[in-house]
Amino acid sequence: MKEKLEEILKEGLTEIERANDLKSLDEVRVKFLGKQGALTSILRNMKEVPQEERKEVGSLANGVREKLESALSKKSEKLEEDALNLKMQSEKVDITMPSKGVKRGALHPLTRFNNKFMDICVEMGFSVIQGPEIDTDYYNFEALNVPKNHPARDMQDSLYITDNILLRTQTSNMQVHAMEALKPPFKIVCPGRVYRNDDDSSHSPIFNQFEALVVDENVGLKDLMKMIEVILKKLFGEDVKMRVRPAYFPFTEPSIEIDATCQMCQGKGCSLCKGTGFSEVFGAGVVNPKVLEMSGIDSKKYSGFAFGPGIDRSVMITNKIPNIKYLFRNDMRFLKQMR
Ligand code: DAH
């Protein structure tokens, strides 16, 4: 019996040593220690061992089992480690390999210009608001002192959805929304898209404006002009010159138009500014008291001024973009050049 046990141990250890993967190692375990295993059957037949030898054989058998078990677990650890190493080898990532490169996005030139404009205004105490691009005739026209059949409606070729609802033709609709919602004094700006039935290389049915409105006590034309001067310098540089012309907008009285040094030729005169060195940038004016009253603001106590530049032209000029449509097509070949 003792010899048999010695043999099982020797054989077991050899087979454990030989096993070269976890599956064959498990087969060895079953062969020796499993229910039908060699060692198990010996232990099961202990009663056949003479009484006086039982104790010795029993402890010998237990020793063999312990040795086999410990050899099995050591080997299994080693095989697991080997398998892991192999896996790590095969899945190794070469971190020194040059990458394919991450394509960097960038802000759209319109967004960049808008952000710059907004930063300037926020620094001056303006709040930024946003509002509907689809609006009623009342907000886009009537409340801005442009009643139905008013000739000023011809200045803007509108895109109507129903008789009463249209794509806003100007961000000035936000003046009315702001006056209805806010208590004076307030200063708001609103960048946004506007829509008109207009289409050639310098006009697009979609374009962008930037509305500003100040309502306070005792504010007027002088404050407006000073503010515009400061903004233009921050936008286009200290050397920018500005020129003021009388104009007409139904919602402002007086109304003015502001020209600034042509950013294409820096004032030298070019085809864009028709040799004048100036190009138009802002429509502006002192808010018509009628407009304040229509939105519930006491025009005896409060006055206001407003301005509303179109920004696409400035973006086109500063980025040398020949056609306004490039701004809206989102063609990657164009956008990549704008980085
Ligand atoms: N909304 C006008 C337009 O689209 C521009 C404008 C003129 C805006 C005078 C103003 C303003 O705020 O005061 O032509």
Pick the atom of ligand 1 nearest to 252's CA. Answer: 13
In a domain, 118, yes or no: yes
Atom of ligand 1 lying closest to residue 212 CA: 12
**Please, which residues have CB within 8 angstroms of residue 161's CB and are 6 or more apart in sequence?**
134, 167
- Beta strands 134-136 and 206-216 are unpaired
| CA dist., res. 175 & res. 159, Å (int) | 20
Tokens of 80: 């697991």
Identify the pLDDT of residue 168: 97
Of 234, 226, 195, the C-alpha closest to 305 is: 226
Domain boundaries, position 20: 2-90
Decide which of 55, 90, 125 is a domain's last residue: 90
Outline where the chain has alpha helix (H).
2-18, 22-33, 38-44, 51-90, 109-123, 137-140, 173-181, 221-236, 289-294, 312-318, 326-329, 332-337
User: Within this chain, do residues 136 and 235 fall inside the same structural domain, yes or no?
Assistant: yes
Residues with CB under 6 A from ligand 1: 170, 172, 211, 249, 252, 283-285, 306-308
**CATH number, domain containing residue 327:** 3.30.930.10
User: Is residue 140 domain-shared with residue 48, that is, in the same domain?
Assistant: no
| pLDDT (tens digit per residue) in 191-219 | 999 999 988 877 899 999 999 999 999 99
Q: What is the mean pLDDT of residues 125-134?
A: 97
Atom 4 in ligand 1: residue holding the nearest Cα: 170
Position with higher pLDDT, 154 vs 232: 232
Please indicate, yes or no, if residue 217 is contained in any of the structural domains.
yes
- Share above pLDDT 90 across residues of the chain, in percent, rounded to a whole number: 61
CA of 187 to the centre of ligand 1 (A): 16
Which of 156, 158, 168, 170 for a ligand 1 pocket mutation test, highest count of atoms within 8 Å of Cβ? 170
pLDDT at 132: 97
Of 79-93, 106-120, 227-241, least confident by mean pLDDT is 79-93
Q: 308 C-alpha vs ligand 1 centroid, how far in Å? A: 5
Output the pLDDT for position 179: 98
Tens digits of residue pLDDT in 257-313: 999 999 888 999 988 889 999 999 889 999 999 999 999 999 999 999 999 999 998
Pick the residue whose CA is nearest to atom 12 on ligand 1: 307
pTM metric for this prediction: 0.72
Using the mean position of ligand 1's atoms as its centre, give its distance from the Cα of residue 168 in Å: 13
Instruction: Kindly indicate the confidence band of residue 60, based on its pLDDT and cuts at 50, 70 and 90.
Output: confident
Q: Report pLDDT for 310.
A: 92
Q: Do 238 and 266 contact (CB within 8 A), yes or no?
A: no
Domains in the chain: how many in total?
Answer: 2
